[in-house]
Structure 1
Amino acid sequence: MLFLRSLLFHIAFFVSLMALQIIWLPALLMKRHASMTLGRVWGRTSLFLLEKIVGLKFEFRGLENIPKGPVIVACKHQSTWETFVLPLHSPDFSYILKRELVFIPFFGWYLMGAEQIGIDRAKGGKLLPQLIEKTKALFAQGRQLFIFPEGTRRPAGAPPLYKFGVAMLYRETGAACLPVALNSGLFWARQAFIVRPGTVVIEYLPIIPPGLEPREFFERMQDTIESASDRLIAEAVARDPSLAAVVERGRKEAPASA
């Protein structure tokens, strides 16, 4: 039954995405907010499908911590889930994402329409000066930056693998940072077909103010996100002990690098 529910969800998920992209085509001729609105509609639609088909509910915590205006939103990354949920609470945003996504028909067009930041991850540290300038321009427009500091999805329970580049962005832009914790990987894991029922919790944590030294900021950000994510995972396992196997598998199978 879980396999069939997951199959039905994946079909509905991709069909709804394609349908929305076709319906929304005129938005590509408009300003970026039109494409961003599509992202939020897709997010709400996906949450609805997850709850009705799979039985996967959601809980938002700490919404009062989300500021208005420029901020670095540094989010734990375990699943596809958070990629369409983060935009729900930001009126004007940009992701730092893999450049390859921009070349996907329809989907990539909307990424460009929403003025998202695509990067070639193979260039590593060579990208940092360009990324800093793009982020400063973003903040000058009053927008928020979404970033996954580990660079890619990590299994729930896997040891952290944060990249120091986010600390350099923090220092050079002078922006505050909003850390975000979650437990989505317990239910919709990286590269997994099965989507489990339960409740995904995403928690927006207290702001880390600007002005810290990069190393101090980096350690504080990582410790804040990891300790809160571990707490959310423990809460979920306490409600459903079968999820402990997902955590153990994540510890064993976690990729060594991103």
Structure 2
Amino acid sequence: MILIRSLLFTLVFYLWSVIMCLLLVPTLVGPRHWLTFGFKVWSTTTIALLRVICGVRVEIRGRQHLPHGAALIAAKHQCMLDTVVPFTLMDDACLVLKKELTRIPFYGWYCLRGKMIVVDREAQAAALRKLVTDSRARMAEQRQLMIFPEGHRMEPGAAPDYKPGVAALYRDLDMPCVPMATNSGVHWPAHGIIRRPGVVVFEFLEPIPAGLKRGAFMAELQNRVEAASNALLEAGI
């Protein structure tokens, strides 16, 4: 039964995504807030489909830690759902994405039109400079910037692999960083189509204050995110 429901969800999700891609074509030349609204519709509907078809419910914790206006969020990344839910959670989400995603027809165009921050991981130092420059611009627009510090999806419980990009943003933007934990990979694995019933939790943690040294910040971020994410795994929800 789980396999059948997972197959049905996958079919409906991609069909709905194609329909949304076509409906959003006018946003490529219209005001950006049209596209922001479209992202919210797509995100909200995807969450509803996941609940109705697969029995996977999304629960948000710690909303009080997410400030209004400009914000820096450093999130655990375990599956595709992590890039869908932010558009429902935040007023004007801005994700840090790898360059390869912009080559996907329609999706890549909308990411560029939505002024997501695109990083070419092969460029290394140049990519880091661009990340910082673009992030300053998005903060000036009062957007909520979400970065995945490990740079790619991680299996639940896997050893952490935090990259320096988030520390560069934290130092340059000189603002608190809101860690976010999740157990999303338990119910939506990074590979395969199985969607396991249960509760996907996205938990905003207490902000890390601005001004810490790089090493102290990275240690604090990793400790908080990993401890909270592992606690969700142990809870078995």
Q: Same fold (TM over 0.5)?
A: yes
Q: Deviations over 1:53-91 (max 9, x none)?
A: 111112111111110122211000001111100121211
The code of the aligned residue for 2:158 comes to A
CA distance in 2, matches of 1:125, 1:159: 25
CA distance in 1, matches of 2:33, 2:159: 37
The code of the aligned residue for 1:76 comes to K
Q: Which residue of the partner structure matches residue 152 of structure 1?
A: 152
Contact 1:31/1:113 (<8 A) preserved: no
2:119 pairs with 1:119:
yes
Contact 1:58/1:199 (<8 A) preserved: yes
The code of the aligned residue for 2:197 comes to P
Q: Deviations over 1:88-131 (max 9, x none)?
A: 12112311101121121111121111111111112223311221
CA distance in 1, matches of 2:11, 2:220: 40
Q: Which residue of the partner structure matches residue 226 of structure 1?
A: 226
**Count of paired positions:** 237
User: Which is further off, 25-34 or 193-202?
Assistant: 25-34
Contact 1:150/1:163 (<8 A) preserved: yes
CA distance in 1, matches of 2:109, 2:168: 30
TM-score using structure 2 length: 0.96
Q: Percent of aligned positions with the same letter in both sequences? A: 39
The code of the aligned residue for 1:52 comes to V
CA distance in 2, matches of 1:131, 1:82: 20
Contact 1:70/1:175 (<8 A) preserved: no
Q: Which residue of the partner structure matches residue 76 of structure 2?
A: 76
Q: Deviations over 1:175-207 (max 9, x none)?
A: 211100010111111112211111111111111
Counterpart secondary structure, 1:123: coil
Q: Which residue of the partner structure matches residue 175 of structure 1?
A: 175
Contact 1:73/1:178 (<8 A) preserved: yes
2:125 pairs with 1:129:
no
Decide which structure has greater helix share: 1
Contact 2:86/2:93 (<8 A) preserved: no
CA distance in 1, matches of 2:155, 2:125: 25
Q: Which residue of the partner structure matches residue 24 of structure 1?
A: 24
Counterpart mapping for 1:56-75 below 5 A: 56-75=56-75
TM-score using structure 1 length: 0.88
Counterpart mapping for 1:194-209 below 5 A: 194-209=194-209
**Alpha-carbon deviation of 1:24?**
2.1
Contact 1:187/1:197 (<8 A) preserved: yes
CA distance in 2, matches of 1:182, 1:122: 28
The code of the aligned residue for 1:31 comes to P
2:112 pairs with 1:100:
no
Structure 1 stretches of at least 4 aligned residues deviating more than 4 Å after TM superposition: none
